[in-house]
Amino acid sequence: MIKPRTPPGVMELLPRDQIAFQRMLDTIRRNFERFGFLPVETPVMELTEMLLTKSGGETERQVYFVESTGSREKNAQAGGAALPELALRFDLTVPLARYVAEHEHHLAFPFRRYQMQRVYRGERQQAGRYREFYQCDIDVIGKDSLSVRYDAELPAAIYAVFSELDIGAFTIQLNNRKLLRGFFQAQGVEDGELQALVLREVDKLDKRGVEYVRDTLTGADFGLSADAVATILSFVETRSTSHADALAKLAALGEGNDALREGVAELREVLELIRALGVPEQNYALNFSIARGLDYYTGTVYETTLNDFPGLGSICSGGRYENLASNYTKSKLPGVGISIGLTRLFYQLQKAGIVSTADSSVQVLVTQMDDALLPHCLALANELRHGGLNTEVVMEASRLTSQFRYADRAGIRFVVVLGEDEIAKGTATVKDLRREDQFEVPRAELARTLRVELEQSRVMKK
């Protein structure tokens, strides 16, 4: 016998946890569509030359390559040096770039897309890090240009998603890469690679402390002056507490150089439009420590955190990029996007006790006490289904206590009993396992009565 076990780095849920996960997916999809985003799906496999165009190094080491008999033969003929022809996608952004470039002449721009699919990475095995996981992305892609105004729409969509998910207080934190670049240039840090290295050290503030970061940046490897490091540390600690405070902090940066002025102007416009879109000011703030991958993003950047659970880190991130598909087309396709890593988020929310096991998607169980009554039970189940209720029927007669126990364990709220007495009277007996009460209802009113009970429960939850 082979012991059944899942491969490491995947999330496999029991049915009621899967229902909770699926409802989160449904909520995200519903809100993405409310903001006018269109669905896209791309193949789980991409041509390796497409997938690795903008990557290499660490990314290539995490990619799952797809080997068939044919690709093994090609690899052998090439002396084992050639990469397999196909690989599993490691994010949804590179497939989007290929998709837009390939279908450019059939798309209406600005192209507003959402995509909710699994991606694959050879992550080092650890709690909460997955090799197969869902990403839920929205992007707006322009042709030749894309107004910074679109940068304000994404936080509004994310606000709608997380408000409906009801996972607690959250803050969408914003920064701008042009502002960062201008600030570092003013401190004498001109080189982009050096800027990335400095920010990587700054990111260790919470783990290693201010002294460690200060010593590292003033040490031989970086050689920054003590005054420059002090200014950098003060700058990246900047946070806003209100809309007015955010505008004041931007104004306090002064004129500066061209990059700084551009970044400030873009952030100011984005902040004003986020407010116009109805996002409450307690749900967005400036955070000058956010960079989001210095070699990729070019303007606005976002990270979203839960106020009561800062240890979870960013639960949603993204930003503005200058040219999505430069490796696949001569057209300039700027855009802005944001992504929710739902599998990891679900794991974190479960662990923190914010998301719990869901009720069953089955709302009603029709019991059976006598095989001779099965046709009546099936007819009643049909009536309930036509009445908008998800209904299961016990197909083999057994003791009622066993059927009640099954419903309770499966998370089914209503159990309907239809015996000879109920059939004669034209009624049905309902056991509400949540409220632990029992009542008799005319059969013609059963579906409406149960729908009212369910709706009242939904209203009470809100």
Listed in sequence order, the residues at least 6 apart from 43 whose beta carbon sits closer than 8 Å to its beta carbon are 89, 95
Rg (CA), the chain: 28
Burial class (CB in 10 A: 0-12, 13-18, 19+), 371: exposed
Say whether pLDDT at 408 is over 80: yes
Section 134-152 average pLDDT: 96
Q: What is the pLDDT of residues 290-311, one digit of tens each?
A: 887 656 789 999 999 999 988 8
Listed in sequence order, the residues at least 6 apart from 397 whose beta carbon sits closer than 8 Å to its beta carbon are 368, 369, 370, 371, 374
pTM of the entire predicted model: 0.89
Say whether pLDDT at 125 is over 80: no
Burial class (CB in 10 A: 0-12, 13-18, 19+), 26: exposed
Question: How is residue 105 written in tokens?
Answer: 């002449």
Least confident of 187-201, 293-307, 356-370: 187-201
Question: How is residue 22 written in tokens?
Answer: 């699926």
Residue with tokens 């400095």: 198
Element (H, E) at 30: helix 15-34
Euclidean distance between CA atoms 265 and 149, whole angstroms: 12
Say whether pLDDT at 392 is over 90: yes
Spatial contact of 89 and 95, defined as CB atoms under 8 Å apart: yes
286: three-class secondary structure by DSSP: strand
Q: What percent of the chain has pLDDT over 70?
A: 94
129: three-class secondary structure by DSSP: strand
Euclidean distance between CA atoms 102 and 95, whole angstroms: 10
Q: What is the pLDDT of residue 258?
A: 93
Element (H, E) at 33: helix 15-34
SS (H, E, C) 244-283: HHHHHHHHCCCCCCHHHHHHHHHHHHHHHHHHHCCCCHHH
Whole-angstrom CA distances from 96 to 139, 145, 238, 448 are 9, 18, 34, 45
Say whether pLDDT at 55 is over 60: no
Q: What is the pLDDT of residues 73-117, one digit of tens each?
A: 665 565 655 678 899 999 999 999 999 999 999 999 999 999 999
> Which of 96, 146, 99, 154 is closest to 338 using CA atoms?
154
151: three-class secondary structure by DSSP: helix
Q: What is the pLDDT of residue 23?
A: 96
Q: What is the pLDDT of residue 256?
A: 85
Say whether pLDDT at 72 is over 60: no
Spatial contact of 134 and 347, defined as CB atoms under 8 Å apart: no
DSSP letters for 312-347: G--SEEEEEES-TTTTT-SS---EEEEEEEHHHHHH
How far is the first Cα of the chain from the last one, in angstroms, to the nearest whole number?
A: 49
Whole-angstrom CA distances from 119 to 66, 70, 89, 387 are 14, 24, 6, 39
Q: What is the pLDDT of residues 156-168, one digit of tens each?
A: 999 999 999 999 9
Q: What percent of the chain has pLDDT over 90?
A: 70
> Which of 106, 245, 240 is closest to 171 using CA atoms?
240
Q: What is the pLDDT of residues 226-243, one digit of tens each?
A: 988 899 889 888 999 999
Section 338-343 average pLDDT: 95
Q: State the virtual CA torsion across 86, 92, 93, 98 in degrees, nearest 10.
A: 50
Element (H, E) at 170: strand 170-176
Taken as a whole, the chain contains a residue count of 462
